[in-house]
Amino acid sequence: MKIVVALGGNALQNKDSDFTSESQLNIIRKSVKHLVDIIEKGHDLIITHGNGPQIGRIIIQNEIAKGITPAMPFDVCGAMSQGMIGYHIQQALGDEIKERGKKKSVATIITQIVVDKDDDGFKNPTKPIGPFYSKEEALRLKEEKGYEIIEDSGRGYRRVVASPKPKKIVEIETIRTLVDNGNIVIAAGGGGIPVIEEGSKLRGVEAVIDKDLASERLAKDIDADILLILTAVDKVYLNYRKTNERGLNKVGVVEMKKYIEQGHFAPGSMLPKVLASIGFVESKRGRKAIITSLDKANTALCGLSGTIIE
């Protein structure tokens, strides 16, 4: 089967480890073992991933070094994070595949995703990015650079950018060609680089596409059989972390929509995963989505764990 695997942040970085390149690579080396288990069963994998902490650190580096070298715009920072994380996943996967005596090529595609310049997300930026600022710094940045700034839960002030919906993937034909020829592809990292169309040209914009919705778009466009969203929990829960918590196993789309209406899923965490899953499953008969943890990925594909949405 053709499977789009959306890697959560816990597959890339451990909150108890340091933030060095070496530490990230070591965590990814452990994570990809679960992916190679899937590959050994004959499935074709297309891998997406988040980039929140990584792009945040790139922006901090930009801020600190701006007196020495010009800071890069946000879309370029997104491309840098795609390259960095893709390189680590690509290397770790390649090494693990070779260790098991298999032959499979891995390629990272720096991915642009077209968004609508009139998307409602641009009218109300809500996605926090980068470091925290004092009130004085925030006011200065708002005046000098026109940044949208919000106070973030008593922790300080942060810049916010738009979070528009993905319309189409620019490099989709390249991705399809690589997958059809038996390659493992890493694409749409961090939700992809948001670009808008200006005539026949593309222009990067300062925005963040939700990584789960980007994974849904990618899974639809390459005609995947399964969208496998890997996160920090083993399945989707109703009444999460309450005394009446209940895990969901196999669920239909209609039932899942009812749970959304009842407000069971947090907007910043589980809700986009559920919405992406529903969107993918509804797009074509026979498709299914699975939400589970990295260590349960294989058993979830066998129908023995995770939340399976059909």
Which of 10, 26, 183, 298 is catalytic? The answer is: 10
- How much of the chain exceeds pLDDT 70, in percent? 99
Q: Read out DSSP for 280-291?
A: HHHHSTT-EEEE
User: Poorest-confidence range of 8-12, 230-234, 302-306?
Assistant: 8-12
**Is the pLDDT assigned to residue 138 strictly greater than 90?**
no
Residue 247 neighbours by CB distance under 10 Å: 14
Is 183 designated active site? no
Q: Two tokens at 221?
A: 């466009």
Q: Which tens digits make up the pLDDT trace of 284-302?
A: 999 999 999 999 999 999 9
Question: In this model, does residue 114 exceed pLDDT 70?
Answer: yes
Classify 252 in phi/psi space as left (phi over 0), alpha (psi -120 to 50) or beta: beta
Burial (0-12, 13-18, 19+ Cβ within 10 Å), 4? buried
User: Can you tell me the distance from the alpha carbon of 225 to that of 281, in angstroms, rounded to the nearest whole number?
Assistant: 9
pLDDT attached to residue 296:
96
- What's the pLDDT at 211? 95
Average pLDDT of the residues in 274-288: 97
Per-residue pLDDT band at 133 (split at 50, 70, 90): confident
For the chain, domains (ranges, CATH) are 2-114+168-309 (3.40.1160.10)
Q: Mean pLDDT of all residues in the chain?
A: 93
Q: Which residue has the higher pLDDT, 157 or 176?
A: 176
Q: Which of 51, 130, 235, 273 is catalytic?
A: 273
Respond yes or no: is residue 167 known to be catalytic: no
143 SS3 class: helix
pLDDT of 152 higher than 80? no
Class of residue 274 by CB neighbours under 10 A (exposed 0-12, middle 13-18, buried 19+): buried
Please give the Cα distance from 276 to 291 (Å, whole number): 10
Q: How many CB atoms lie within 10 A of CB 299?
A: 13
pLDDT digits (tens, 9 = 90+) for 11-60: 887 776 778 999 999 999 999 999 999 999 999 999 999 998 888 889 88
Helices 21-40 and 74-99: angle between axes, nearest 10 degrees: 60
Res. 9 pLDDT band, cuts 50 70 90: confident
Both tokens assigned to 201: 């040209």
Highest mean pLDDT among 4-8, 147-151, 241-245: 4-8
pLDDT digits (tens, 9 = 90+) for 182-217: 999 999 999 999 999 999 999 999 999 999 999 999
Residue where the block lists tokens 């060095």: 20
For 20, phi then psi, to 5°, come to -75, 160
| Angstrom distances, CA of residue 10 to CA of 7, 51, 70, 295 | 8, 11, 32, 11
| Model confidence band, residue 266 (pLDDT cutoffs 50, 70, 90) | confident
List of residues 6+ apart from 113 with CB closer than 8 A: 166, 167, 168, 169, 170, 188, 191, 192, 193, 194, 195, 209, 214, 217
CB atoms within 10 A of CB 262: 10
- The pLDDT of residue 156: 85
Q: Which of the following is catalytic: 2, 9, 14, 204?
A: 9
Distance between CA atoms of residues 110 and 193, nearest Å:
8
Which strand (E) or helix (H) includes residue 120?
none
Catalytic: 273? yes
Annotated active-site residue in 50, 62, 86, 127: 127
pLDDT at 146: 84
Q: pLDDT digit string (tens) for 56-91?
A: 889 889 888 989 999 999 999 999 999 999 999 999
Q: Which residue is catalytic, options 56, 211, 279, 296?
A: 211
